Amino acid sequence: LSAAMMLDHLGENDAANRIRAAVSATLDEGEQVTGDVRRAQTGSVEGAAGTQAFADAVIAHLA
């Protein structure tokens, strides 16, 4: 999301919105979320993904 904020600052609002939408879609799916998100969802980190897997899922939503 910090990349989206940077893109907003640079006036690249469409690209920023695409990143936000991809992050949102990844979180909504709930499959590839990091430990902090999984803990907030379920109270446990069991089944959490690493940061690389989360990033890959976000990137997949950009394609």
* Confidence at 7, pLDDT banded by 50, 70, 90: very high
Nearest 10 degrees: Cα torsion 9, 12, 13, 17 = -110
How do residues 40-49 score in pLDDT, each as one tens digit? 999 999 999 9
The tens digit of pLDDT for each residue in 21-38 reads 999 999 999 999 999 999
pTM: 0.87
Q: Would the CA dihedral through 37, 41, 46, 48 be positive or negative?
A: negative
CA distances from 59 to 41, 42, 45 (A): 22, 25, 23
CA distances for 58 relative to 18, 25, 43, 44, angstroms: 10, 8, 23, 22
